[in-house]
Amino acid sequence: MPDARRALEEEIAGLRRQVEEQRVAAEAQQRQLERYAADLRETFKAERSRAQALSRSYMDTVRALSNAVEARDAYTGKHAERVAAYGLEIAQVVGLSVAGHPEIEFGFLLHDVGKVAIPDAILYKPEPLSDDERRLMERHTVIGWEILRDIDFLGEAKQVVRSHHERWDGEGYPDGLAREQIPLAARVFSVADTLDALTTTRPYRLASPLGEGRKIISGAAGGQFDPAVVEAFGRIPDATLETIRREVG
Ligand SMILES: [Fe+2]
């Protein structure tokens, strides 16, 4: 009987040792997992800040390019930045996911990049353009698209550059696209572009008040502009647009 009892005690002691070994091993494993998790968190943080730095440098590059274009065209001031801000407001109301396609803003900023190839004599001509001059001027859309064509990160932005003078009724250029054939971002942009053109002073005319600009844009719904975009634009309060005009002016 004492032998049997000793054997039982030894077996229990053996089991306790095993349990203890397993506990120590589990703790070691737990510590290792915690180290992995901490490493992963660090890697993720570093990766995120690299991605943020990259997207900032994209934005800086695009702004530099857009400023280079605007520097030639002194009277429009910060036209591209204002139009981009108006465009982002309209895009939000119309349900165009700028968050899903951040490069759309680049397209708004770079819309007229093709004007670098248009001679001063045409770009600044105060009188109406001849047919040939007008055709050349209209090429700024395709030239802009060609300049940006191979830049992958610009994605949808390139379509805005190419199609920002298309019209809902199909009478625009360069491709004569109509209705939904025109990329939504370009349909949004053309309303923003016209709003800025109407509400800033140009050498040949004074700025229209915002209400007047709204009336002209509403009148062109279904002709120059997508009616749904005009409707979305109509829902943006005056105060929002005035703030953009003041702050980016
Ligand atoms: Fe343009």
Q: Are residues 204 and 220 in the same domain?
A: yes
Distance 47 CA to ligand 1 centre (A): 37
Domain that holds residue 24: 1-72
Distance in Å, CA 158 to ligand 1 centroid: 13
Q: Kindly state whether residues 3 and 84 are assigned to the same domain.
A: no
Mark whether 80 and 34 lie in a shared domain.
Answer: no
- From ligand 1's centre to the CA of 141, what distance in Å? 6
Q: Distance from the CA of 125 to the center of ligand 1, in angstroms?
A: 16
- Separation of 84 CA from ligand 1 center, angstroms? 13
- pLDDT one-digit tens code per residue, 157-197: 999 999 999 999 999 999 999 999 999 999 999 999 999 99
What's the pLDDT band for 237 if we cut at 50, 70, 90? very high
Q: Residue 1 pLDDT more than 80?
A: no
The values of phi and psi at residue 99, to 5°, are -65, -40
For residue 248, the CA-to-ligand 1 centroid distance in Å is: 19
Q: What is the pLDDT of residues 95-106, one digit of tens each?
A: 887 767 888 999
Ligand 1 mean position, distance from CA 165 (Å): 6
Amino acid at site 54: L
103 & 63 share domain: no
Question: What's the predicted TM-score (pTM) here?
Answer: 0.80
Q: Are residues 142 and 49 in the same domain?
A: no
Ligand 1 mean position to 175 CA, how many Å?
14
* Contacts by 97-103, CB closer than 8 A, 24 or more apart: 101/155, 101/156, 101/185, 102/55, 103/153, 103/154, 103/155, 103/156, 103/157
Clarify whether residues 89 and 145 are in a common domain.
yes
Q: How far apart are CA 89 and CA 93, in angstroms?
A: 7
> Two tokens at 159?
């379509």
For residue 101, the CA-to-ligand 1 centroid distance in Å is 21
Residues 58 and 153 in one domain: no
CA of 187 to the centre of ligand 1 (A): 13
Distance 75 CA to ligand 1 centre (A): 15
Shared domain check, 236 and 145: yes
pLDDT at res. 33: 95
Domain boundary among the residues 56, 72, 88 is at: 72
Spell 185-206 as b/e; 16+ CB within 10 A means b: bbbbbbbbbbbbbbbbeeeeee
CA–centroid distance, residue 238 to ligand 1 (Å): 25
The percentage of residues in the chain with a pLDDT greater than 90, rounded to a whole number, is 74
Mean pLDDT of 62-90: 84
Number of Cβ within 10 Å of residue 65's Cβ equals 18
CA of 140 to the centre of ligand 1 (A): 7
196 and 115 in one domain?
A: yes
Residues 65 and 81 in one domain: no
Higher per-residue confidence, 232 vs 63: 232
Give the residue from 18, 51, 72 where a domain finishes: 72
User: Within this chain, do residues 37 and 89 fall inside the same structural domain, yes or no?
Assistant: no
Report the CATH number at residue 137: 1.10.3210.10
Q: Assign 124 a pLDDT band (cuts: 50, 70, 90).
A: confident
Q: Which residue bears the tokens 């309060």? A: 237
Q: How far is the CA of 5 from the centre of ligand 1 (A)?
A: 97
Domain count, the chain: 2
Rounded average pLDDT over 134-149: 96
Q: What are phi and psi of 205, to 5 degrees?
A: -165, 160
Which token pair is 94?
Answer: 């119309």
Same domain, 204 and 91: yes
Q: Residue 54 Cα, ligand 1 centroid: separation in angstroms?
A: 28
CA of 237 to the centre of ligand 1 (A): 26
What pLDDT is recorded for position 96? 84
- Domain boundary pick from 37, 72, 107: 72
